[in-house]
Structure 1
Amino acid sequence: MHVHVADHPLISHKLTVLRDASTDSPTFRRLAEELVTLLAYEATRDVRVEPVTVTTPVAQAEGVRLSSPRPLVVPILRAGLGMLEGMQRLLPTAEVGFLGMIRNEETLVAETYAERLPDDLSGRQCYVLDPMLATGGTLVDAIDFLVRRGADHITAVTLLAAPEGVKHVEEQLADVDVPVTLVTAGLDERLDENGYIVPGLGDAGDRLYGVAD
């Protein structure tokens, strides 16, 4: 797995505001969308394109367009939804699928409770959206799910990642014969005893949408 920690002053600035406990939900959502658009620029560096000729007001010009089948964006519910609009700003023609996964707070193991994805992902580039790569269990299960359906190129986009989670994903995907890239705005210090990223930014879902009991 290739890991890319985005290094840009605007990314660092927006991430700092997201970390601040005093940032309210509306501001958090807006900044998360803006940050994801910046990350999407890095994440789509290897998006597949094909040559095309267009007619300008002056002459013909050679260019490129996104190849078919179109990329598939897969937000992990519910927190990943807060990243979807930012990704779609850069890839408006991409298709969107949904994968509902939740971490068991006792076992820290991810459990799948819903999915809305094509049965056949052969030849598809997939972009997985999940704000936090903590223990790594959710991302491993999501990637395994997509690989089993035929995806042949997967990029995960996260706001933050923990070293333990990155290591776990690398170990679990060592035998997966599909290119996997992680693009993140920050690689933090560690996980605490509850599996939360330190210093992190708290629970991304709660900060995006409020606490839902």
Structure 2
Amino acid sequence: MGFPKTAYYRETFTGLSLSNETITGREFDECEFIRCSFVDCKFESCKFLSCRLVECVISAIKPVNCRFREVKFLKSKVIGFDWTKAIVIEDLEFDGCQINYSNFRLLKLPGIKIIDCEAKEVDFIETDLTNGVFKKTDLENSQFFKTNLTGADFSSARNYSIDVRNNILKKTRFSMPEALALLDGLDIIIE
């Protein structure tokens, strides 16, 4: 089916399934995608503005020159998404999602919300995550290096490995006992 029109406003797409397709120059404004599947697709020069994706499967997507503003993913699988190909990302939110193997390297994502998610093996290297929220998120094997975590909230997050010497941590919130992981890599003995 694809998207025959170039612009969509306040439309709802339910059960749409696309695989190995290229979608170019489409704009989605205040649209909702429910139980849709986009696998191994390439989105080129598309805009997603104030959209919601609910219970969707989005895997191995390349969003070349795309714009994402106020996009919310709810209970979706957003696996292997290379966000570095997008040109604008603002107010991104994931709630109850799987975002494993995604790449956010070198991006500026202040205020990102990744809540109650599975975020395994995600690349956050040199990313600005200022005031980001990671509550109840499993960050197993995710990479943080030269990452700005100023004001970020890791309350009840788990399985993170954040080197306090190689990341910016100012007013960053952590909860016990997971916060003890921050001592890994320091040459100290705790008794």
TM over 0.5: no
Normalising by structure 1, we get a TM-score of 0.25
With a CA cutoff of 8 Å and minimum separation of 6, indicate the structure with the bigger relative contact order: 1
